Amino acid sequence: MTAIGHLVDCGLNPICPENLRIYDHDRSLGSRELSLKGGDLYFGGKKVELRSVAAPSFHCLVGESFLPANVLDHLLECQNLAPLEWRKLSNGGGDGNPITIFFAGTSYVGRFGQFVRHMFLGDGDQLWRGGVTHLSNNLSYGWTLVVKD
């Protein structure tokens, strides 16, 4: 099987939603290859895994390396890189809630607090879409992407 690979420059600022500014973003990652091999996503040669999470409790995943929003920007533009397996995920037991994947490696701040960006796939959607999640006390259930060491 042929791998599909793309270069993502994490040294650059990712897209910043209106009325927000980047609060935390690790530019030291530099340029890394994002590739799809055998149905799995790889970032910089390391396998990317999904972890179930309730935002804002990303801190409970101590020692994990989260993917930055640059990867989200690239996945939204090149949707063929998103593994088909992600479409099969159920967020809430098939109750019509969208599948939400958070990119906690970049956080934003605005007038009303701290935010992370996510991509989601609702019932019947063919294309992934992007959104913003407020890191408040309200729990948003979904998945986050971590790089397996």
Sign of the C-alpha dihedral computed for residues 38, 42, 45 and 49 taken in this order = negative
Q: Does the pLDDT at position 4 exceed 70?
A: no
pTM for this predicted structure: 0.85
Q: Which amino acid is at 145?
A: L
CB burial class (10 A; 0-12, 13-18, 19+) of residue 97? middle
Q: Which amino acid is at 29?
A: L
Neighbours of 137 (CB within 10 A): 6
**pLDDT tens digits, residue range 83-133?**
888 877 754 445 556 678 889 889 999 998 999 999 988 767 788 999 998
Q: In Å, what is the CA distance from 99 to each residue of 28, 95, 104?
A: 30, 11, 16
Q: For all residues of the chain together, what is the average pLDDT?
A: 82
Among the ranges given (5-19, 65-79, 82-96), the one the predictor scored with the smallest mean pLDDT: 82-96
Which tokens in the block code for residue 27? 């530019």
